[in-house]
Amino acid sequence: MGDREPPPAPPGRRVLQVIDSLARAGAEQSLVVLAPHLVAAGVDLHVAYLVERDGLRPELERIGVPVTSLAPPDGRRHRRWWYRRLRELIAAVGPDVVHTTLFEADLAGRRAAAHAGVPCVSSLVNSTYDRGQARRDGVSWLKLRAAQAVDALTARRVARFHAVTDHVARVMSRRLLVPRSRVEVIPRGRDPEALGRRDPARARTVRAGLGVPDGVPLVLAVGRQEPQKGFDVLLRALPQVRARFPDLRVVVAGREGRATDELARLVAAGGLGDAVTFLGVRDDVPDLLAAADVFAFPSRREGAGGTLLEAMALECPVVASDLPTLREVVDPATARLVRPGDADDLARGLVEVLADPAGAAARARDARARFEQGWTVQATARRWVAFYDRVVREARGTRAAALAGASPPAQ
């Protein structure tokens, strides 16, 4: 877009997106990737977030998107504050649609939009509220049930839902008591031009920065250090992989989380300190993917997997958990799929890919072709514009019908 002014938004295309934070995470990153393409398509986009976390705000402001922090002065979580501030912001911005993403933004945004009489759409980005998963993650089932009840109650105020995969749509429509017909699937997308291409010079530069020589097997994992991401499974798999590739290096990009302490214990217990590096938050994940021999994606559950799309676009061979959501993106012809939570199977997958670089490269080329068929951000942006237009038309039709029904009888 450069420094050119975006075209004026057509009537009905002013959208206020509300999200929990602008940290470097999946849903937030997907918003930032999509934003310039929505603006270029004529959407008057505004973004508000509830919690201050360093990350992606400058990237939105660089393309001219107005961004508002709704964080309380004391930095704590205050739902009444968020609700009140959102009502004020909606009155000031005058959006045609309020679009909410993630739990706290959903609760505050749905209520505030309903109070203002503005249609609200909510994104479903993961399949949450599973009792078994809550137990494995150490989350109180009673608290999770209470959250589900509040989520389902406020879901009644939503005009339409968006889901990142068909699996998430099916599961969450049941758990929120929402008709499946009210949930539209629009996959996440990535911009192939912004990601660039995989080439030896790029890989050498990145490896030099990591201190990994050419020819040394390099495995990359990306994500928050949370139980969901399965990095503990990856660490348990590494001794078997190192038995075949003793000079193996593994780098993990992403912020700390509830699993951080356990991961540190596993590294120490397995004597992996010379093989594993936790990079913390990175803004150069595409470069890391362009340099890695394998992208490991050992999640126990996943909404969609934005980094998986980036790996496909950059022709980085993938070893991923065989999850229903990921099966909508990759298959055995484009990735090595392994049983979730199974360290032995993950080890076998990593060894197979590292031992057969020609076969891995062929699957990666097929993955790139698959990405180009349906997961470019240009394609998803067109679907989003059509989705917003449809929501606005439906809301206007509903209001017109209500006004007609309320008209006084002719004298």
pLDDT-derived band at 140, boundaries 50, 70, 90: confident
Query: Alpha-carbon distance 290 to 230, whole Å?
Result: 22
Query: Alpha-carbon distance 206 to 212, whole Å?
Result: 9
Contact by Cβ (8 Å): 69, 52: yes
Contact by Cβ (8 Å): 354, 217: yes
Higher model confidence: residue 163 or residue 144?
163
What pLDDT does 3 receive?
45
What pLDDT does 6 receive?
46
pLDDT-derived band at 361, boundaries 50, 70, 90: very high
Average pLDDT over residues 243-252: 98
Query: Alpha-carbon distance 221 to 395, whole Å?
Result: 43
Name the domain count of the chain. 2
What pLDDT does 132 receive?
77
Asked if the model's pLDDT at residue 115 lies above 80, the reply is: yes
What pLDDT does 4 receive?
47
Q: How far is CA 23 from CA 49, 208, 243, 282, 383, in A?
A: 10, 27, 37, 11, 25
The rounded percent of the chain whose pLDDT value lies above 70 is 95
Q: How far apart are the first and last CA of the chain?
A: 57
Whether residue 150 is found in the same domain as residue 222: no
19, part of any domain: yes
What pLDDT does 212 receive?
97
Amino acid at the residue 338: V
Whether residue 168 is found in the same domain as residue 20: yes
Average pLDDT over residues 295-312: 92
Whether residue 69 is found in the same domain as residue 208: no
Asked if the model's pLDDT at residue 5 lies above 60, the reply is: no
401, part of any domain: no
* Structural domain span for residue 280: 192-374
Which of 253, 131, 124, 97 is CA-nearest to residue 182? 124
What pLDDT does 2 receive?
44
Whether residue 239 is found in the same domain as residue 330: yes
pLDDT-derived band at 295, boundaries 50, 70, 90: very high
pLDDT-derived band at 130, boundaries 50, 70, 90: confident
Asked if the model's pLDDT at residue 409 lies above 80, the reply is: no
What pLDDT does 408 receive?
53
Higher model confidence: residue 207 or residue 395?
207
219, part of any domain: yes
Whether residue 309 is found in the same domain as residue 163: no
126, part of any domain: yes
Average pLDDT over residues 348-353: 98
What pLDDT does 407 receive?
53
Whether residue 118 is found in the same domain as residue 221: no
405, part of any domain: no
Q: Which token pair is 357?
A: 């670089």
Q: How far is CA 298 from CA 65, 217, 220, in A?
A: 35, 18, 11
Whether residue 327 is found in the same domain as residue 358: yes
Average pLDDT over residues 228-254: 97
Average pLDDT over residues 313-320: 98
331, part of any domain: yes
404, part of any domain: no
pLDDT-derived band at 142, boundaries 50, 70, 90: confident
What pLDDT does 403 receive?
78
* 337-340, Cβ contacts within 8 angstroms, sequence gap of 24 or more: 338/298, 340/230, 340/298, 340/299, 340/300, 340/301
pLDDT in tens, 66-82: 999 999 987 777 899 99
pLDDT-derived band at 267, boundaries 50, 70, 90: very high
Whether residue 92 is found in the same domain as residue 32: yes
- For residue 184, the SS3 value is strand
Query: Alpha-carbon distance 265 to 335, whole Å?
Result: 30
Whether residue 182 is found in the same domain as residue 245: no
**324-342: burial string, b at 16+ Cβ within 10 Å, e else:** ebbebbbeeebbbbbebbb
Whether residue 329 is found in the same domain as residue 305: yes
Whether residue 222 is found in the same domain as residue 103: no
CATH at residue 128: 3.40.50.2000
Where is average pLDDT lowest: 53-57, 160-164, 213-217, 316-320? 53-57
What pLDDT does 73 receive?
86
407, part of any domain: no
Average pLDDT over residues 131-142: 76
Axis-axis angle for helices 26-40, 377-406 (nearest 10): 80
Whether residue 269 is found in the same domain as residue 343: yes
DSSP 55: B
